[in-house]
Amino acid sequence: MIQSKYIIGILLVTVALGIAYFYLSPESNIFTGSILDNKPKLNITISPSIIPNDETSSVLFIVSNNGLPISGATINVDGAGIDLNGKTNIAGQLKLQLTPTSVGKISVVASKSEFSNGISTILSKLSSGNI
């Protein structure tokens, strides 16, 4: 932890091995900061990204980094009555059958140890049969 009594405000600095973030602590009035890792970020493509509630939809997740597929990434899907996970295949793909029991946002997180998590959402909307 870096501490200094001379700098006030917020500062964001990019350094060679990571990103440093700093803030003024209201409790101590001391400038503090930390270094975050600089792992490559996972990207998630979801199709379809809007699904009807109370109906089963086949959803394809593709995890990549810089356009290259990431195999073995864990995908966690949580929300609207869904709590599922699985791992991507050699093509960076995972297909899940999702049946949301309510409308709202469904959180999707892709993770793998060498990467920063990829985060996205699926929207569950009223099905035409529930209107």
Average pLDDT per 10 consecutive residues for the chain, totaling 131 residues:
43 42 44 60 97 96 97 98 97 98 97 96 84 51
Tokens encoding 123: 């929207």
Longest dimension (CA), the chain: 63
Give the pLDDT of residue 130.
Answer: 56
Q: How far is it, in rounded angstroms, from Cα 116 to Cα 47?
A: 22
pTM attached to this predicted model: 0.71
Of 105, 102, 100, nearest to 57 (Cα)?
100
Question: In the 8-state DSSP scheme, what is residue 112?
Answer: -
Contact 94, 18 (CB under 8 A): no
What pLDDT, on a 0 to 100 scale, did the predictor assign at position 38?
A: 83
Write down the pLDDT at residue 128. Answer: 73
Pairing verdict, β 18-24 and 31-36: antiparallel
Domains of the chain with bracketed CATH: 2-36 (no CATH), 43-130 (2.60.40.10)
Report d(CA 94, CA 92) in Å as an integer: 7
Structure tokens at 94: 């995972």
Sign of the CA dihedral with 87 first, then 114, 15, and 67 last: negative
